[in-house]
Amino acid sequence: TAAYGYFRGIIDEVRVYNRGLTTDELTNLYMSVSAPSATLVIQGNPARIGAPGPLGYGTNIVLLSAVVTNRVASPVAGGAGTQYVCTGWTGTGDVTSGGGTSVVFTVTTNSTLTWNWRTDYFLNTGAGPSGSVDVADGWYTNGSLVTITATASNGSQFVRWMGDVPAGQITDNPLVVTMDQARTLTAVFVGSGGVVVPTNGLLLYCSFNASMTPVPDDSGNGNTGTVMNGAMWVTNGVNGG
73 vs 68: CA distance, rounded Å = 17
Contact 77, 34 (CB under 8 A): no
- The tens digit of pLDDT for each residue in 162-197 reads 999 999 999 999 999 999 999 999 999 986 555 555
Long-range contacts of 48-52 (CB under 8 A, 24+ apart): 49/76, 49/84, 49/115, 49/117, 50/74, 50/76, 50/84, 50/86, 50/115, 50/117, 52/113, 52/115
Global pTM reads 0.68
| Model pLDDT, residue 171 | 94
pLDDT digits (tens, 9 = 90+) for 193-225: 555 556 667 777 776 655 666 777 766 677 777
How confident is the prediction for the chain on average, in pLDDT? 86
- pLDDT at residue 237 is higher than 50: no
Q: What are φ and ψ of residue 25, in 5° steps?
A: -65, -40
Q: How much is the pLDDT for 215?
A: 76
Question: How many residues are there in the chain?
Answer: 241
Q: Which of 42, 93, 45 is nearest to 71 (CA)?
A: 42
Give the 3-state DSSP-derived string for the chain, with helices as H, strands as E and coil as C.
CCCCCCCCCCCCCCCCCCCCCCHHHHHHHHHHHHCCEEEEEEEEECCCCCCCECCCCEEEEEECCCEEEEECCCCEECCCCEEEEEEEEEEECCCCCECCCEEEEECCCCEEEEEEEEEEEEEEEEECCCEEECCCCEEEECCEEEEECEEECCCCEEEEEEECCCCCCCCCCCEEEEECCCEEEEEEEECCCCCCCCCCCCCCCCCCCCCCCCECCCCCCCCCECCCCCCCCCCCCCCCC
With beta carbons less than 8 A apart as the criterion, state whether 140 and 121 touch.
Answer: yes
| Contacts (Cβ under 8 Å, ≥6 apart) of 192 | 155, 156
Looking at residue 239, its pLDDT comes to 45
pLDDT given at position 236: 44
**Which of these, 117, 184, 187, lies nearest to 151 by C-alpha position?**
187
Phi-psi region of 116 (alpha: psi -120 to 50; beta: other; left: phi over 0): beta
> Quick check: 224 and 204 in contact, CB under 8 A?
no
Where does the pLDDT of residue 240 fall: very low under 50, low under 70, confident under 90, or very high at 90 and above? Answer: very low
The model's pLDDT over 115-126, given as tens digits with 9 standing for 90+, comes to: 999 999 999 999
- The string of pLDDT tens digits covering residues 78-91 is 999 999 999 999 99
